[in-house]
Amino acid sequence: MLEIKKLLSSFDPATAVISGADAAWRRLSDLFGCFSDLTAYKAAMALDDALVYSVASSAPADGEGDMHYGAGLIMPGRIGREYFMTKGHLHVWREAAELYIGLSGGGVILMEDESTGESRLAPLQPNHTVYVPGHTAHRTINTGSTPLTYLGIYPAKAGLDYSAIAKKNFRCVVIERNGKPVMVERRSISK
């Protein structure tokens, strides 16, 4: 059996810090090309290359039946009408699903079926789960006014594929309209 300390971890629901794991921070500059409003993006960058989100992960083992888990924090904020969000990813092993568990704050997960382009918006909040099936690009978005934190659990062999999303982006964007998040087609909004 693995040594006991490899089997144990803890996380802080307020900060998404995992004990003994490094958190990687993504700044506005890391999200070049993600936001639809390039003018607003450049204006925000001119002020500050702000911290947008952090991710940390725990990877106890890497066999066929193993799982890893990650913890994420997304800062509150917007670029134009679009909320702060993660880059989003597919899994290298396309069949791999991911179970998200909300810890604090409120947001949504944008999902896009890789084959059909069909998009779904799922609410993410404390003690609620969102199940992201395989073959589904997904991006987490903070639609609230406080940090959004969450866990994501996935098969150890899932792997992260950012490149497919980086090339074509998500078909839909989530924007603030009358104080509420709405999902609209990217091509329907003016730049």
The dihedral sign for the CA sequence 157, 104, 31, 181: positive
Nearer to a copy of itself, 41 or 170 (CB): 170
The single residue among 27, 42, 128, 168 that binds a copy of itself, judged by CB under 8 A, is 128
In the chain, how long is the greatest CA-to-CA distance? 57
Q: Which of 160, 111, 104, 162 is nearest to 139 (CA)?
A: 111
**Euclidean distance between CA atoms 102 and 145, whole angstroms:** 15
Q: How far is CA 172 from CA 4, 128, 179, in A?
A: 44, 23, 18
> Is 158 a binder of a copy of itself (CB under 8 A)?
yes
> Is 122 a binder of a copy of itself (CB under 8 A)?
yes
Nearer to a copy of itself, 44 or 132 (CB): 132
Binding residues for a copy of itself (CB under 8 A):
1-2, 4, 6-13, 58, 60-61, 63-67, 69, 91, 93-97, 99, 101, 111, 113, 116, 118, 120, 122-123, 127-134, 136, 151, 153-155, 158
